[in-house]
């Protein structure tokens, strides 16, 4: 049994980590850090944890208690983890960072997209991008993993089989994605997230290459393709709590059929426990509360274009569940430990 610390344990990502780790067979949460709720039981932040956890939120202090843990999840806002990571790595901790601080290899790229200098650029270059379906073997040897963003997770799982098999024109890729409101985090109080503004409303935001997840998607696809890839990514906010649906479009290099492509996808993900390739088109509710990604596709024979639909729960496979999946790999556990729950239906 390993000891785990969660820093930022009262945000949505931290709350999901607490919920999921409460049933993990080989890991226990020893420290849950929240400056807002320090000294209060974790159920004060997440009432659903009442009688599921006896933990009390702690303050980070000098970090000594956190540094004694085997694995540390950093679930804070962007710009925090890069200050904390060096001390924890020197203490021998394995770290999964749920923010964007260690997703981009190029520290200058981080500065451009996140508006601040990266103070741990050396570690930034050594961090492993935590998409297990692509980097599983490398994650097993990693001490520091940058957990992918929610939009990139859904989009990359849809597109990587096509890129790695050289089946599409990379310049033709378009991603149209929708996210539930929890994707913005728990501390967003601006008007567009208020119930009267968001309910019965769909809005696009950060369009025309301005969303921060764009370089993360491009970085991974570029690495897989062996050539520079730039793409159009358009996110939308939809009036539901959880879920991401990413619709991805691309032009096939050669004529392809839906049946042949479905088989290719099924073969590609045959050993991936959290990716299901479906005959029908998936919906967000099918994966609610689970660590699953469901994929479906069709081919427009007139234009020789493929359309893919990828759905995940943004707080589980898009955040905390994938972080635990990464921890399992880093610690030599079964990849599915603590994550075998199916989606909630209806």
Cα distance between residue 113 and residue 99, in whole Å? 13
**Residue ranges of the chain with per-residue pLDDT less than 50:** none
Dihedral sign of CA atoms 34, 38, 39, 45 in order: negative
Cα distance between residue 241 and residue 33, in whole Å? 25
Q: Which CATH class is domain 151-314?
A: alpha beta
Same fold, 2-126 and 151-314: no
Domain ranges of the chain: 2-126, 151-314
- What is the reported pLDDT for 195? 77
Q: How many other β-carbons are positioned within 10 Å of the β-carbon of residue 50?
A: 11
Cα distance between residue 293 and residue 273, in whole Å? 10
Cα distance between residue 237 and residue 161, in whole Å? 27
Query: In this predicted model, what pLDDT tens digit does every residue of 243-274 receive, in sequence order?
Result: 999 999 999 999 989 999 999 999 999 999 99
3-state secondary structure the chain: CEEEEEECCCCHHHHHHHHHHCCCCCEEEEEEECCCCCCCEHHHHCHHHCCCCCCECECCCCCHHHHCCCEEEECCCCCCHHHHHHHHHHCCCEEEECCCCCCCCCHHHHHHHHCCCCCCHHHHHHCEECCHHHHHHHHCCCCEEECCCHHHHHHHHHHHHHHHCCCECHHHCEEEEEECHHHHCCCCCCHHHCHHHHCCCCEECCCCCCCCCHHHHHHHHHHHHCCCCCCEEEEEECCCCCCEEEEEEEEECCCCCHHHHHHHHHHHCCCCCCEEECCCCCCHHHHCCCCCEEEEEEEECCCCEEEEEEEECCCHHHHHHHHHHHHHHHCCCCCCCCCCCCCCCC
Beta bridge partners of 233: 175
Enzyme catalytic residues: 150
CATH for the stretch 2-126: 3.40.50.720
How far is CA 268 from each of CA 104, 157, 202, 277, 322, rounded to the nearest angstrom? 25, 11, 34, 10, 19
Q: Whole-structure pTM over 0.85, yes or no? A: yes
Cα distance between residue 174 and residue 69, in whole Å? 42
Cα distance between residue 140 and residue 132, in whole Å? 9
At 109, give phi and psi (nearest 5°): -65, -40
- What is the reported pLDDT for 129? 97
Q: How many other β-carbons are positioned within 10 Å of the β-carbon of residue 194?
A: 12
Cα distance between residue 63 and residue 59, in whole Å? 9
- What is the reported pLDDT for 198? 73
């Amino acid at each position: 049994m390993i000891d785990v610390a969660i820093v930022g344990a009262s945000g949505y990502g931290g709350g999901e980590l607490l919920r999921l780790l409460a049933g993990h067979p080989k890991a226990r949460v020893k420290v849950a850090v929240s400056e807002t709720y320090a000294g209060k039981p974790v159920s004060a932040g997440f009432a659903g944890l009442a009688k599921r956890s006896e933990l009390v939120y702690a303050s980070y202090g000098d970090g000594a208690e956190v540094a004694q843990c085997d694995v540390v999840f950093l679930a804070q806002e962007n710009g925090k983890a890069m200050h904390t990571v060096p001390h924890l790595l020197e203490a021998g901790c394995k770290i999964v960072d749920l923010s964007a601080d260690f997703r981009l290899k190029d520290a200058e790229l981080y500065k451009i997209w996140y508006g601040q200098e990266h103070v741990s650029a050396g570690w930034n270059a050594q961090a492993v991008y935590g998409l297990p379906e692509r980097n599983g073997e490398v994650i097993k040897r990693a001490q520091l993993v940058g957990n992918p963003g929610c939009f990139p997770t859904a989009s990359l799982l849809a597109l990587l089989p096509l890129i790695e098999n050289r089946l599409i024109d990379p310049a033709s890729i378009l991603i149209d994605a929708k996210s539930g409101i929890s994707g913005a985090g728990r501390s967003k109080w601006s008007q567009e997230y208020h119930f009267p503004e968001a309910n019965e409303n769909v809005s696009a935001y950060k369009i025309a290459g301005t969303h921060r997840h764009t370089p993360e998607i491009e970085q991974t696809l570029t690495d897989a393709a062996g050539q520079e890839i730039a793409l159009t990514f358009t996110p939308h906010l939809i009036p539901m709590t959880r879920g991401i649906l990413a619709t991805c479009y691309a032009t096939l290099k050669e004529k392809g059929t839906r049946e042949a492509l479905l088989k290719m996808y099924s073969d590609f993900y045959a050993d991936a426990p959290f990716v299901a390739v479906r005959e029908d088109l998936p919906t967000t509710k099918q994966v609610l509360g689970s660590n699953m990604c469901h994929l479906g596709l069709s081919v427009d024979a007139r234009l020789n274009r493929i359309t893919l639909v990828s759905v995940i729960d943004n707080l589980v496979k898009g955040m905390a569940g994938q972080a635990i999946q990464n921890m399992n790999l880093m610690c030599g556990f079964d990849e599915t430990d603590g994550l075998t729950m199916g989606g909630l239906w209806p």
